[in-house]
Structure 1
Amino acid sequence: MDRNEIDEYVDRCRGLIEASPQMDEENTKVKLIQPFLELLGWDLYSTEVALEYNVPMASGSTHVDYALLVGDSPVVFVEAKPVRSTLSDDEVRQLRSYMRQELDVDWGILTNGKSFEVLTKDRRRNGGEEMSVVQFSLEDLSERPGVLELLTKESIRSGKSAEIAEQVAETNRTIRYLSENESTVTDSVASAVTDEVGELPIDLQAQSREFVQGLVSLLREQRQFVGETENGPPSGDNPPTADDDIHISDETGSADGPDNRHLEPVKNQIAGTIRRRDIDGDPDSTVAVFPTRESGLPFLKENEAWGFVRVGREFEYVAMYVTGDVRQVKYIAEVERVVSPEQADLMREPLEYKDRGAIAEDKKVIIFKPGSLYELEDPIPYETRYPQALRYTTLGELRTAETTDDML
């Protein structure tokens, strides 16, 4: 796709949204979503785009905002929402139900002009069930325009989109297996090393666990190159990852998964703000750095805790890197104890926070010392590296880091 056209589209939409942040649905469709479909190569003034397409349902019929057709068959459903709204899980389920009624519709796009969620049918597994394959925002397109290759008319007509989606699905399954069986895989890695070289003067179990976690992180990073060609990745210095701007759904449990999009904090237990140089503690103390989307912050603030995560070693502090538009290490807390979800006295039941996948038995909740959760007055900004999953640093490095590259 032409990079200049994408940049022009983003700039134009950004200006329209800034001028009219409460834009209603009809204006959102005309000013933001229809230009998006044209950017993807679909001709709105032809028979390949149908507006208010009739979808038969068990209880009668309904309409999807746009159907994109190849020949006489719809292949993509697009559901539009006003720019002033937030995309919800109910709307994702609604789009899934529409896709289920049409055999040839393998793709669905839910958007409000600012945020986009893409669904596809998993034809090779799960009986063709609709799955969320990628989420991205308007701002992401400036840095990672290659994600649009997944949705172009040419990619969908040629089958390239289906190949990319299958690759993502296979990677998802690998990530899910390694995440759910981390302890077993860790034991196997440690045993293999011991069998080859004998006993080592290190904590081999901890190192093996970090290796497995690093492998998961690498798979998540590689999975982000959606739409790349054989000539290599699109231009840009900041590749996104699973928990950053462009989010690839992997259906593994975390406190900041899709089901948390609309949770509002009941009680904010942040003690206040603090400068990094004023944080008490030994500079050699270990800090566990976790990524979170903004939707995961209610869990943090309500509970003075973080979960549901696997940990491979002991640490004294937790720092939180907030992804999306924030891109900063923004919170710090001192650890009191690490417990199972059943032992954690959370303000809401875990099911309200977990992702669509089940909470694995070895996942933990990290309880903070009361009154130790602070927002950083001088958060650490993203440069080129950030924690795609759990990473460790020291309190000294956190105090002095100018960017995330200095601590990771």
Structure 2
Amino acid sequence: MDRDEIDEYVDRCQGLIEASPQMDEENTKVKLIQPFLELLGWDLYSTEVALEYTIPMASGSTHVDYALLVGDSPVVFVEAKPVRSTLSDDEVRQLRSYMRQELDVDWGILTNGKSFEVLTKDRRRNGGEEMSVVQFSLEDLGERPGVLELLTKESIRSGKSAEIAEQVAETNRAIRYLNEHESTVTNSVASAVTDEVGELPIDLEAQSREFVQGLVSVLREQRQFVGETDGHTPEDDSPPDPEVTGREGETGSADGPDNLEHIEPIEDHVAGTIRRQDIEGDSDAAVAVFPTRESGLPFLKENEAWGFVRVGRDFDYVAMYVTGDVRQVKYIAEVERVVSPDQADLKREPLEYKDRGAIADDKKVIVFRPGTLYELEDPVPFETRYPQGLRYTTLGELRTAETTDDML
């Protein structure tokens, strides 16, 4: 798929949305969604695209906005919403019910022209139940255009999309299991090491927990290969921002407060700017490095805290790597305590920082020592390595790093 063509599509759509943020559904379809389908290789002026396709239901019939066909059979349903709307769980459930009525429809796309959610049927498990494979935004598409390869006409027709979706589904299941059984797996790892080499003069449980959390991060990195020829690897040249979910059925979740719609901070507790060399503390002090989109910064600034995360060891500082167009380790703060969300005295209710999911019982909020949250005057720029999830470094490495490769 031609990158220039994708960039032109993204630029044109962003301009249209900026000029008409309250665009209604019909204009959204014509100006944003139909060009998207053409970008994927589907010919709107042929029999392979049907508008207002009739779907038989138990109580009569309904219509889906677009059906994409191979031969005489629909294989993809596309449900359109106006730009001014927000995609909801109810709309996802609606699309799932549409897909369930047609045996050959393995794919569904829900979009308002600026946000996209892709569903597929899990043929190997769960009786073919529809699951969410990937969520991405128009902005994400500019960063990671390869995600479109999952949805092209050629990929759908050749079966490549099905292979990718199955691998993502297996990875999602592994991530979900490790998250839900982290303590059990941690104990098993620690026991296996002890059985093999005997007692060690380290906190083996903390190291084992960090190993399990690192494994989840690696799986998340691997899962980002959607649309990449050879699969995404940690050495890829840009942080993958599309949100690939583990949502099967009706619900799903994502870590951290960085996947919410843009909001302005109620208060801004950034104390100012600081050069890395001027940060006080022992060079060996542990620094936890977290990734966030720019949309997660209001949480950081108004609470002097970060959440909702699992942590496996003690650390003295938190550094924030901002993804998207920024791609820099840009903020630093000293840790005061790690607490549960209900003990964090947040400026808003926790669910206002979360998207479509409850906060797991073992997730924490890292509260900073008041007055220690600074924006770095000399942020650490991205080179080839970036934190997909929690990573650790030292204050000394942070002070001297020329790029992220020097500290991660």
Do the structures match in fold with TM over 0.5? yes
Deviations 1:268-288 (A, max 9, x none): 332233332332222221111
Contact 1:332 1:374 in 2 (8 A): yes
Give the whole-Å Cα distance in 1 for the aligned partners of 2:184 and 2:358: 18
Contact 1:257 1:355 in 2 (8 A): no
- Report the AA paired with residue 120 of structure 1: T
Partner of 2:173: 173
Partner of 1:248: 244
SS across alignment from 1:46: coil
Deviation, 1:136, is 3.4
- Report the AA paired with residue 281 of structure 1: G
Give the whole-Å Cα distance in 1 for the aligned partners of 2:179 and 2:395: 27
Q: Does 1:213 align with 2:213?
A: yes
SS across alignment from 2:18: coil
Deviation, 1:161, is 1.9
Aligned 1:71-220 pairs, distance under 5 A: 71-80=71-80, 85=84, 88-90=86-88, 93-102=90-99, 103-104=101-102, 105-125=105-125, 128-138=128-138, 144-220=144-220
Partner of 1:291: 291
Contact 1:88 1:261 in 2 (8 A): no
Contact 2:221 2:232 in 1 (8 A): no
Give the whole-Å Cα distance in 2 for the aligned partners of 1:344 and 1:143: 34
Equivalent position to 1:238, from 221, 236, 239: 236
Give the whole-Å Cα distance in 1 for the aligned partners of 2:238 and 2:120: 21
Deviation, 1:313, is 1.4
SS across alignment from 2:372: coil
What value does the CA root-mean-square deviation take over the aligned residues? 3.2
Contact 1:134 1:247 in 2 (8 A): yes
Instruction: Name the count of aligned residue pairs.
Output: 397
Give the whole-Å Cα distance in 2 for the aligned partners of 1:59 and 1:381: 57
Give the whole-Å Cα distance in 1 for the aligned partners of 2:254 and 2:113: 28
Deviations 1:263-318 (A, max 9, x none): 54333332233332332222221111011223322322222111221112111111
Gap change, CA 1:390 and 1:205, over 3 Å in 2: same
- Report the AA paired with residue 393 of structure 2: T
- Report the AA paired with residue 370 of structure 1: P
Deviation, 1:17, is 3.7
Contact 1:10 1:139 in 2 (8 A): no
Give the whole-Å Cα distance in 2 for the aligned partners of 1:191 and 1:388: 28
Deviations 1:219-278 (A, max 9, x none): 11111112345xx3489973556xx323211344522365x2355433333223333233
Give the whole-Å Cα distance in 2 for the aligned partners of 1:262 and 1:317: 26
Structure 1 unpaired stretches of 5+: none
- Report the AA paired with residue 322 of structure 1: V
- Report the AA paired with residue 210 of structure 1: E
SS across alignment from 1:21: helix
Give the whole-Å Cα distance in 2 for the aligned partners of 1:226 and 1:62: 32
Contact 1:135 1:249 in 2 (8 A): yes
SS across alignment from 1:300: helix
Partner of 2:330: 330
Gap change, CA 1:352 and 1:139, over 3 Å in 2: closer
- Report the AA paired with residue 149 of structure 1: E
Percentage identity across paired residues of the two chains: 76
Give the whole-Å Cα distance in 1 for the aligned partners of 2:58 and 2:94: 11
Gap change, CA 1:215 and 1:30, over 3 Å in 2: same
Give the whole-Å Cα distance in 2 for the aligned partners of 1:223 and 1:396: 32
Give the whole-Å Cα distance in 2 for the aligned partners of 1:266 and 1:130: 39
Gap change, CA 1:160 and 1:35, over 3 Å in 2: same
Partner of 1:10: 7
Gap change, CA 1:19 and 1:181, over 3 Å in 2: closer
Deviation, 1:137, is 4.5
Deviation, 1:129, is 4.8
Calculate the TM-score normalised by the size of structure 1.
0.84
Deviates more, 1:165-174 or 1:68-77: 68-77
Partner of 1:301: 301
- Report the AA paired with residue 256 of structure 1: P
Partner of 1:370: 370
Equivalent position to 2:18, from 6, 18, 21: 21
Deviation, 1:141, is 5.2
Partner of 1:273: 273
Give the whole-Å Cα distance in 2 for the aligned partners of 1:326 and 1:155: 32
- Report the AA paired with residue 245 of structure 2: S
Aligned 1:38-77 pairs, distance under 5 A: 38-53=38-53, 64-77=64-77
Gap change, CA 1:139 and 1:266, over 3 Å in 2: closer
Give the whole-Å Cα distance in 2 for the aligned partners of 1:253 and 1:213: 15
Give the whole-Å Cα distance in 1 for the aligned partners of 2:203 and 2:233: 40
